[in-house]
Amino acid sequence: MSTEARYDRMLRDAALRVTRPRRAVLAAVHAHPHADAETVMTAVRRDVGAVSHQAVYDVLRALTDAGLVRRIQPPGSPARYESRVGDNHHHLVCRSCGAIADVDCAVGEAPCLTAAEHHGFEIDEAEVVYRGLCPRCAAAPVS
């Protein structure tokens, strides 16, 4: 099955209509892990030509709602999208360049940590963001 057919299948299985922008956004998110909306937009336009920014936002939301895409919001960054869903993995974020890497969740499902004090909250997720310097920024002298 071609990747295009695969994305079409994913869309249909999620009860979503199959449209060119949707195919293109799904492909872009798969091709560019942790891309922001602007990056997705650029990739989509390179792939299928003119697509409105509104359509890209709409499609990203529809795919996120359908569980085909995960939306993360690392501090200091615009929202980012990734195709790796359902395993509650965490992220490493570089303080300097913003690079993001995945970190497997030791538990594999949310919530994976227990708050010392839950203040009466019904906790259903624990998201961990590890911050530091990526190999490249750690090797470069601070300037």
Partner DNA sequence: GGCATTTCTTGACTCGTTCCAGAATGACCG
Partner DNA sequence: CGGTCATTCTGGAACGAGTCAAGAAATGCC
Task: Write out the residues near DNA by the rule CB under 7 A.
Answer: 12, 16-22, 36-38, 50-55, 57-59, 61-62, 78-79
Based on the number of CB atoms within 10 Å of its own CB, is 93 exposed (0-12), middle (13-18) or buried (19 or more)?
buried
Q: Rule CB under 8 A: which of 100-129 touch a copy of itself?
A: 101, 103-104, 106, 111, 113, 115-129
The 3-state secondary structure of 23-41 reads HHHHHHHHHCCCEEHHHHH
Residue number, 7 or 105, with CB nearest to DNA: 7
How many residues are listed for the chain in this entry? 143
Residue type, 16: L
Q: Rule CB under 8 A: which of 70-99 touch a copy of itself?
A: 72-73, 75-76, 90, 92, 94-95
The label of the residue with tokens 């939306």 reads 71
Residues that bind a copy of itself (CB under 8 A): 72-73, 75-76, 90, 92, 94-95, 101, 103-104, 106, 111, 113, 115-135, 138
